[in-house]
Amino acid sequence: MAVAALACAQEAPAPTLHAGDKWVYQIKSETPAAGATTRHWEGTIERVGTGSMVLGIKPADSNLPARERMVQDDWSNQQSVNGKTTTVSKNFDFPLKTGKTWRVDVTQDRPNPQIVSLRNTLDYKVLAWEDITVPAGTFHALKIEAEGEWHKEFAPTNATASTASQAGVAGSMAIAQTRPSTVPPPLTGRFYRAIWYAPEARREVKSVYEDFDAAGTLLHRESADLESYQVQP
């Protein structure tokens, strides 16, 4: 029994989730230009299927209907990328244990007319168990960190032509100018993620997401702290 208890303390298995399980988070968003905003969101599992579930998300205490989205039963997210179902985010790779690593690598072709390709990579690592305190209480949680980068390849700009009128001794004359098509240089920026997973709450109790531009300047930071939760035994 002692060996089993030690193994349980060192490893976090995939959670058992049920319809009706609910979490409320305080979310703080910060951007250098716009400052900081705080909001409160709740997520409730509407149904659980085989390998996936439907999560209803809405502002806490709102009477509006929740926005429902499908997520995988390990809390990862899948989307159609280049016509294929692709895992675009995966904060947990169960069972979780100290030292475990995994990677999320997604390349999207033509996300908009100006960008030829956008590649996002994140390398995750489970660091250690920590006691962390958030509004919902103090939890024994596994800290996970991820670092990565985004890389953009740009489409050629269109050639442009312009005509200007210039007055002279002999009268006005038109001057035509042409700017050839150019290809902007590629850009690369950075990501940082810190997530604390608590088996008691069956998902993260705290997270910090940071995005940086090509010069290493912070573009956006978002932190989430668990305020309350209700899960079935």
Task: Label residue 188 exposed, middle or buried (CB < 10 Å: 0-12, 13-18, 19+).
Answer: exposed
The pLDDT assigned to 168 comes to 59
Vertex 118 angle, CA 114 and 122, to 5°: 155
Contact 91, 8 (CB under 8 A): no
Query: Domain limits at 40?
Result: 5-9+11-230
CA dist 137 and 115 (Å) reads 44
Q: Number of structural domains, the chain?
A: 1
Higher pLDDT, 168 or 6: 168
Structure tokens at 111: 């996300």
Q: What is the rounded average pLDDT of the residues 145-161?
A: 89
* Average pLDDT score, the chain: 91
Structure tokens at 14: 């995939």
pLDDT at 107 over 70: yes
Higher pLDDT, 8 or 223: 223
Q: pLDDT band at 142, cuts 50/70/90?
A: very high
Farthest CA pair distance, the chain:
103
pTM: 0.86
Range scoring the smallest mean pLDDT among 138-147, 167-176, 216-225: 167-176
Q: pLDDT band at 1, cuts 50/70/90?
A: very low
CA dist 153 and 28 (Å) reads 31
Q: What is the rounded average pLDDT of the residues 223-227?
A: 98
Cα of 21 vs its chain's centroid, Å: 22
Contacting residues for 33 by C-beta, under 8 A, at least 6 apart: none
Task: For the chain, state the CA radius of gyration.
Answer: 24
Structure tokens at 2: 């002692």
pLDDT at 5 over 60: no
For the domain that residue 126 is a member of, what is the CATH number?
Answer: 2.40.360
Higher pLDDT, 39 or 159: 39
pLDDT at 159 over 70: no
pLDDT at 7 over 60: no
20-52 pLDDT tens trace: 999 999 999 999 988 999 999 999 999 999 999
pLDDT at 173 over 70: no
